[in-house]
Amino acid sequence: MPILSHHLDQSRVMEIQSSSSSRASSKRKSAIPCPSTKLIICIFLVLTVLILLHMQPSSFFPSTKSNFMSKLRDSVTFLPLKDLRFTNTAMEGNTWFMSSLNDTREENEAEYLYFPSESSKGRLLCIKGNDTEDGTKNSYALAWPECLPDSATLLSGLTFVSDTYYDYENLWHGVSAIAPFVGWSLKNGCSKPTRWVLFHWGELRDRMGTWIHNITQANFGEVFIERFSGEGGDGPYCFEEAVVMRHNVGKMGKERKLHVFDMLRCKARLFCGLSPGGRGKEVNRRGQPVIRLTLLMRRGSRSFKDPAAVITVFARECAMVEGCIMEVSQSEDLSFCDQVKVMTNTDIVVSPHGAQLTNMLFMDRNSRIMEFFPKGWLELAGVGQYAHHWMAEMSGMDHTGSWWETLGEKECPNPQNDLECFNFYKDGQVGHNETYFAEWARTVLNQVRTSKLEKKTKRSQAKSNVCKC
């Protein structure tokens, strides 16, 4: 019996241990939640945090954002507008104006810079300084709209920024600087600038010559030239939108130039109350085409020594051609619109070399140019003497040639120095050769008459819809 009792006691102990183990195991299982519930809670928490971060990022990382913006603002670096490293190649490549920036190049268009753009990575153009004598004291930089330099003034609207190696007073140089903006505007929905910023060698300019101002106004409306003299002092000033031209007409294609100068002509005529298409077909009482010959004279340098003799030669030749009407105009006495009217009513212009010949652009296409030079120009002036040949090509005119007075033996103080010698002759007066002038006038008058007879029912003038802007 003792043995049986011992076995019963052992069995009882094992039963108790088994029961305790079962209860402990049950408790451990009930303490572990369902895995799917835990996953759902985690996902919910992550999504909540992400939504809050998206809605209010600055409330979570205020100092980080502020520091980042401050660093971007501090990273804006101003460079000299005029880069003296390129003094010897000032008009080549990127030029010495904003030399670190590459132009946008499009087929047949003048090279340009545009801000903000993909190439500027969305950054705006900023300019600091208003020095009129040293372009290295004026500077430029690019900045993101959200991180403009400290104390910067943001100028709204479209700004046209021009830098020319020459000036905005001379008719030829000025119109060469304005023309590429006309081309850009034509291609971009006839956009008009809010303001102009003018530079010469990086030096700020605050005006255009009267003639240039008028032709600019005719094409773009009121002309406001920024002087950087307001409350912002010398800047920096940043532009909401800016177009920069620094090559004048640059690589603009021939057809594009013709289109641009058609626009300049058309707008100037409208501005002066004339028909944009010109005077059209014009005949006399006998039904013969009218040929209008204009002697566009000038005083002082490069004027004719004996204007009366020159007038007599051309008047005589004109009288010999039926339908020819001659007019003599003194360029200095004409207002802008007077010049537009005179040249609109001209088929052949006779004039000494000079800025007044830029007015040829107001004539109908295919009109004739006869140009005259003082002695010394042919031998010493270089390629600059062909400026009005280029002007004729750009505006669709026929430059019939030039007459140069014979130099003979050099009379300049230092004949071996061509530059000094040219300056000696540069502003001389123009002589005349009666025989040559008469024959040349006769030839050109007959060419124009023949052309008009052949085109009685066909007009060569560009379509009037060129004034679409």
Domain locations in the chain as residue ranges = 76-252, 291-456
The predicted structure's pLDDT at residue 62: 53
**Nearest Cα to Cα of residue 414 among 424, 426, 405, 429:** 424
Top-level class of domain 291-456: alpha beta
Q: What is the pLDDT of residue 3?
A: 41
Which residues are bridge partners to 326 per DSSP? 293
Which is nearest to 266 in space by CA: 258, 449, 142? Answer: 258
- pLDDT score at 278: 86
**Order of strands, edge to edge, in the sheet holding 348-352?**
324-330, 291-297, 348-352, 368-373, 398-404
User: Using CB atoms within 10 A of its CB, is residue 75 exposed (0-12), middle (13-18) or buried (19+)?
Assistant: exposed
Burial label for 142, CB within 10 Å (0-12, 13-18, 19+), is buried
What's the confidence (pLDDT) of residue 43? 79
Structure token pair of residue 126 = 């900023």
DSSP state for residue 154 in the 8-state scheme: E
- Tens place of pLDDT per residue across the chain (469 aa): 444 344 434 444 344 444 444 444 444 444 444 457 777 777 777 677 566 556 554 444 556 767 767 777 777 899 999 999 999 988 888 899 999 999 999 999 999 999 999 999 999 999 999 999 999 999 999 999 999 998 999 999 999 999 999 999 999 999 999 999 999 999 999 999 999 999 999 999 999 999 999 999 999 999 999 999 877 787 899 999 999 999 999 999 999 999 999 999 999 999 999 999 888 788 888 889 999 999 999 999 999 999 999 999 999 999 999 999 999 999 999 999 999 999 999 999 999 999 999 999 999 999 999 999 999 999 999 999 999 999 999 999 999 999 999 998 899 999 999 999 999 999 999 999 999 999 999 999 999 999 999 886 554 444 556 788 8
Compute the distance between CA of residue 308 and CA of residue 316 in angstroms, rounded to an integer.
Answer: 12
Hey, what are 159's tokens? 């700004």
The Cα angle at residue 395 between residues 361 and 450, in degrees rounded to 5: 90
Beta bridge partners of 225: 196
Pairing of strands 324-330, 113-115: unpaired
**What is the structure's pLDDT at 176?**
96
